[in-house]
Structure 1
Amino acid sequence: MVMTPEERLAQLNSELTQVRAAITAILSGAQEYRIGSRSLRRADLGLLYTERTRLEKEIAEIENGGMFRTAYFEGR
């Protein structure tokens, strides 16, 4: 299924919100925790920063008109 730019933008913003929340959780000391015999370890902080940057770039591309833009150069 092909998404419209608006649908893709909504999906990317949702993912970015989740990545930012994970970064915040790790920075506040929740990298790894244990409840009884179960444990949870969040993604690596460096990986989350990389993903945040990728998502922000893709969002900016969509918001600024996509990959292709028209440019007019006057004379030489």
Structure 2
Amino acid sequence: MVTLQEQLKQITEAITAIEIGGQEYQLGSMRLKRADLSLLYKRRKELEGQIQAEQNGNELLSNTFVSVFDRR
């Protein structure tokens, strides 16, 4: 099974490949289109959140704040 850190590394490498080499390219009659960059960014953000949650002990709402406005 691939760990979250390994997945994050793979996603980051895919993003870098697209940013450096482009979204798609053509060699002769063969055309290659890489993964959608916006989906990769979204997945990377999800993985970073999951990794952070693991490091914080999976505390639900560990990064949540509450404000109360009572109109006084």
| Counterpart position of 1:48 | 40
Q: List alignment gaps of at least 5 residues for structure 1.
A: 1-6, 70-76
| Counterpart position of 1:39 | 31
Post-superposition CA distance 1:7-58 (Å, at most 9, x none) = 8xx6100100000001000100232233455432111111110000000000
Number of matched pairs: 61
- Letter of the structure 1 residue corresponding to residue 37 of structure 2: L
- Letter of the structure 2 residue corresponding to residue 62 of structure 1: E
| Counterpart position of 1:65 | 57
Q: Does structure 1 residue 20 correspond to structure 2 residue 20?
A: no
- Letter of the structure 2 residue corresponding to residue 26 of structure 1: I
Q: Percent identity?
A: 46
Secondary structure, in 3 states, of the residue corresponding to 2:52?
A: helix
**RMSD of aligned Cα (Å):** 2.1
Post-superposition, which runs of at least 4 consecutive aligned residues in structure 1 deviate over 6 A? none
- Letter of the structure 2 residue corresponding to residue 24 of structure 1: T
Q: Give the TM-score, by structure 1 length.
A: 0.66
Secondary structure, in 3 states, of the residue corresponding to 1:66?
A: coil
Q: List alignment gaps of at least 5 residues for structure 2.
A: 62-72
